Amino acid sequence: MFGKNDNSIISGIYPKDACSLEDIVQFIKKRHSIREVGSIHTFSGIVRATSKEGKPVKGIKIDAYEELANKSINQICDDIKKQYGIVEIILIHYHGEFCLSEDLVHVVVAAGHRGEGFRALSVAVERYKKEIAVWKREDFQDGTSEWIH
């Protein structure tokens, strides 16, 4: 994730805790392009304590096809950056095993103005949910597990 010389943060799929939301925001704020930015928009997907059906969850496992997932993440970010008013986007998705409330994904969009930023963030979130090659398994409090599709 971090560049050899400049501590850059590059969108992609990484082991959990590779960096924090604050690391990403600070990285964007240190870039020269921050002069064009009027708003920074963040989304974090975290582990919820219940499944969609209301079953108590104790944790989640994320499995990933890293090569395919990284290609899709790069495509999403490239497309978003082409949108009017978008200065930067960083999308980090983690894989591994996670406890309740732990971070699974961060999407950070830096925009000239809030309108473009909100729209771009929403598009990026909806796209990563549908396009990147990761799978989520919910581990329930009763000891059972289920891959979500």
When asked if residue 100 is in the footprint of another protein (CB under 8 A), the reply is: no
**Binding pattern for the stretch 9-48 against another protein, x by CB under 8 A and - elsewhere:** ------------------------------------x---
Judged by CB under 8 A, the residue of 27, 94, 120, 124 near another protein is 94
When asked if residue 60 is in the footprint of another protein (CB under 8 A), the reply is: yes
When asked if residue 149 is in the footprint of another protein (CB under 8 A), the reply is: yes
Beta-carbon contacts of residue 131 (< 8 Å; ≥ 6 apart): 72, 75, 76
Judged by CB under 8 A, the residue of 31, 105, 111, 118 near another protein is 105
Gap between the Cα atoms of 93 and 29, Å rounded: 21
Phi and psi torsions of 99, nearest 5°: -95, 170
First to last CA, the chain: 28
- Cβ atoms of residues 51 and 140 within 8 Å: yes
Query: Which residues form the interface with another protein (CB under 8 A)?
Result: 45, 60, 62-65, 67-68, 71, 93-94, 104-105, 128-137, 147-149
